[in-house]
Amino acid sequence: MISVLIVITTVVAGWSLVAGRLEQRHVRAPLMLVLAGVVTGVFTHSHIAVTLNSEVAQHVAEVILAVLLFVDATELPGGRLFGNDPGSAARALLVALPLSLITMVLLGTLLLPGLPVALLLLIACIVVPTDFAPAETLVRDRRIPARVRSVLNVESGYNDGIVSPLFLFALILVGTNSVTRTPMQALGTAVPFALKALVAGFVMGALVAWLINRADRAEWMTEQSRRIIVLVTPLLAYTVTTAMDGNGFVASFVCGIAFRYVRQAPVRRRGASAPHASDFQLIEDTNSMMTMCMWFFFGNAVVLALGEGVDWPAIVLCVAALTVVRILPIMLAFLGSKFTWRERLMVGALGPRGTTSIVFGLLAFNALPDGPYADTALYAMTLTVLGSVLLHGGGSVVIARSLTGPPPSAAGGPGSSGNDEPDSSGVAMQR
């Protein structure tokens, strides 16, 4: 474990020294950590499975996901639940996302007929949620219309929170520690978990934000203390809810929504100053550092998956997850919308996978009994995210150019949405 920490900290330190130069060439921290993980994995191949399938790795992944969900919920644009364009975001999250999950399961039954539906649902929950870590420049690319960027940003911020209770249900249904359950038994376990999480997350987020507002008004806080309390809030929500036998991930996500709403209440009611952006700097930097660690372990998982060998049906399934399973539901969900056909295709094509899939995959690998089910979940995550890094990371500029035409220096055409508001891409930027 010490050697792993030495490698991670050395690579992060080296990247930090030249981050500006590397980002000009579209080389970002996730890619550097993946390469480091691959190189390390080649020399420690026999120990990779033990490292990934450990209690320490599981707890680290759980904390990272809790913080990630909270950050997602607090950094969405606009004052409404689904950002500046709630109708379009609802189409992506409430129509396209379920259709993608269903399509993934149906396709899995054809390509991998020997696997139970519960495991296919678990895999769908792992590989369907989007995340802009492999292609974070996309949400700042002015060639892409503002409303497309807005939908992509809100979708990537909310879909992991929406999928997390379904992920838990599928995990319970597949069976952990060699204990399998019927759908009703799994539902009977997952629903109370989710209900406790909704209540605990809302109460914790609203209470902490209200206390911060009161302390701010009384001038009891310092800039440092505000940053610290923002960092500990998702950890508090996660640990308290877990102690209550609730779903800590859902609680962290709901906590972020409630925290953001109550924290901004003085701004809406009395026209007070908006919360300082620096309040979130510590949690954003911490989140970035933790997700870098996840990308390192993803590099390890790549070596493990490719070393063991992967069957072609699994490869086809993962390629489909990045293409038709994503694009077709988006095209259907946006029928009748104001989006042009090119913009709809853009939303579907620009759906990278990243930290969320990695964390879900590692959690499934740790929770499932050792054997083919755990390996399949890990390999599906690995192939999908690796494909996304290649497709959306290296090919993101090509995709954007081919779908948008000339750069919008002479903006104002139809579909470029003249209301090109300033970017609010905090979620994607910090992963």
**What fold, for 2-8+29-408+419-429?**
Na+/H+ antiporter like fold (1.20.1530)
Q: State the pLDDT at residue 17.
A: 94
Q: Per mean pLDDT, which range of 2-16, 88-102, 164-178 is the poorest? A: 164-178
Q: Is the pLDDT of residue 416 over 50?
A: no
Residue 351 gets the label, from left (phi > 0), alpha (psi -120 to 50) or beta, of beta
Mean pLDDT (whole number) for 163-173: 91
Domain boundaries, the chain: 2-8+29-408+419-429
CB atoms within 10 A of CB 190: 20
Q: How far apart are the C-alpha atoms of 319 and 279, rounded to whole Å? A: 40
Which H, E and C letters describe 66-126, residue by residue?
A: HHHHHHHHHCCCCCCCCCCCHHHHHHHHHHHHHHHHHHHHHHHHHHCCCCCHHHHHHHHHH
| Contacts for 256 with CB less than 8 Å, ≥ 6 apart | 69, 70, 71, 72, 73, 74, 205, 234
Percent of the chain with pLDDT strictly greater than 70: 82
- pLDDT band, residue 25 (cuts 50/70/90): confident
Q: State the pLDDT at residue 273.
A: 63
Q: What are 208-243's pLDDT values in tens digits? A: 999 999 998 888 999 999 999 999 999 999 999 999
The torsion angles phi and psi of 78, rounded to 5 degrees, stand at 80, 165
Question: 382 near 301, Cβ under 8 Å?
Answer: yes
299: tokens are: 């590099």
Q: Is the pLDDT of residue 45 over 80?
A: no
- pLDDT band, residue 148 (cuts 50/70/90): confident
Q: H helices within 309-367, ranges in order?
A: 312-322, 324-333, 341-349, 355-367
Q: What are 354-411's pLDDT values in tens digits? A: 889 999 999 999 888 888 899 999 999 999 999 988 887 656 666 666 766 555 444 4
Q: What pTM does this model have?
A: 0.84
Q: What are 239-264's pLDDT values in tens digits? A: 999 999 888 999 999 999 999 889 88
H or E segment and range at residue 417: none
Q: State the pLDDT at residue 390.
A: 82
Q: How far apart are the C-alpha atoms of 131 and 287, rounded to whole Å? A: 14
Q: State the pLDDT at residue 413.
A: 43
Q: How far apart are the C-alpha atoms of 97 and 128, rounded to whole Å? A: 8
